[in-house]
Structure 1
Amino acid sequence: MRYQRRGLDVVSHLLLAAGCGLFFLPVWLAFTASTHSMSDLYTHIAPLWIGDVGLANYARLLSEPVNGLNAGVLRLLFNSLVMATGIAVGKIVISVLAAYAIVFFRFPFRRLCFWLIFITLMLPVEVRILPTYEVVANLQMLDSYSGLILPLIASATATFLLRQFYLTIPPELVEAARIDGAGPWRFLKDILLPLSKTNLAALFVIMFIYGWNQYLWPLLITTDADYMTVVVSLKRMLTTGDALVPWQDVTATAILAMGPPVLVILILQRYFVKGLVDAEK
């Protein structure tokens, strides 16, 4: 039930607008700074409006190598996109198969296997960084997309969430599929995956942002500019020695780095929200 109180609605909308403004203010300041020249940023206070340079900084960053990085921002964005997409897809594929086997198959030590997977939550990549790096180095996967993606594609969280959803599948549905002659792969492909598309969309958004924001692992295994990610490069752009920090380039790169995650959220927002609020889930 929703009560119609005009005064309360107005106050609620004002508070919501104020909150949105506070969250959007740093983004706006970064965008305005990216449209000014370096001399303007170092001789005036923080700009609140678009500068005379306009989008020229963005065009230069996308077409020319960044000073000190030997790679253009377009290449850095592509590397981050490959890494984030590979991590998200890999986590979902492995988690779907693991959760499917744990819930719908009967085999010895099934519950033990689940808890062993769940215990890995206590071993994030930061804890096992040295042995993971040694394995990747021995397999000669440094400075490669496979080295960026493969050590991060296992996810106990996604396996747990999918397992909880699969447990809500009625046994009658499984039995009906078996009677109709649906084998394990057909049941997974034609019945289970369509039923869990909202959960998969929500997991893809979460895992994509997780992969996009990775800093420590790409920093550790990439020395070639052709495989650096945009998040790591932002930090390197701030390390200029005795020279002035090119804040117009840093803020422009930060704005560009926000684009793909925001775009993924906007595209999958309907499925993401439905997966969170659907009462049947």
Structure 2
Amino acid sequence: MARARSHRGWPTMTIGIIGTGHMGGMLAALLAETSGERILVFNRTREKATLVAQRHPHISVARDLSEMAEVCDTVLICTRAADGEQVVRDIGPQLVPRALLLTTISTADLAAWQRITPAVPVKMVPSLTQWVKSGAILVVYPDGADRETKRRVEQLLRPIGRPFPIADEQVRVASDLTSCGPAFWARLCSAWAHAAASTGALRPAEAAEFIRDTAVGFARLLEAGWSFDEVLDAICVPGGVTEAGLEAFAGAEEWFADLHRRTARFARGHPPETPPGN
């Protein structure tokens, strides 16, 4: 790879991140901490990039996209989909053939990007759980990606989560479970806390604390190897109160089937369905 020289005294390997919103800012902070590499960030609004650069001494602000193409061996495009298409046309042709071009744009057409850039384009779907260096990071490789490319991607991402290769057609549903998942879990827990408090037996803060502690303990059971069915079997005594409570979950599969239908419809560019009567 033609990057043997250093740039301004920086290490010979530099990671560039274009777009410093929630996802790009998170990845910049985490990779600055875990990769050991210099992180170069760029945003159309320079002030936003500067705020991210202030988080860690290994993060600096790029002068422009050309500087990023010149010094970066790995580039992450973390912009909105419409902006990302223009960014890849601007920077893609300038990248070297062995460079990695990662993107968080779930709708990115990797085959089309391969026609624009000699770099290797890879799609990734991170999650908020990466802030605690946990959870899955979905990864979609282009056709023909070699073993070395996959090794480099997984080496970069493994310190902040679990890289999980999937096919492009799996992205939408898998993203519901991983990237969108923390929001869905938070909404369920919030609704449960409000319902518990509405009984009058607990204050809202108490209900939220009990649910939070139970969620943490449940996650640790799963980390210890328990399956969902094993948890149910261990708690649900026939004829007991848990079994009675589980009757409220009748039709739960349909709730989640509707969730996946709604996100798929939105991803195809259709607005959410309007409830009857509205």
Instruction: Please tell me the TM-score bracket, short chain as reference.
Output: under 0.3
TM-score normalised to structure 2 length: 0.26
Give the structure with the larger strand fraction.
2
Give the structure with the larger helix fraction.
1
Q: Indicate the structure (1 or 2) with the bigger Cα radius of gyration.
A: 1
Higher relative contact order (CA 8 A, sep 6+): 1
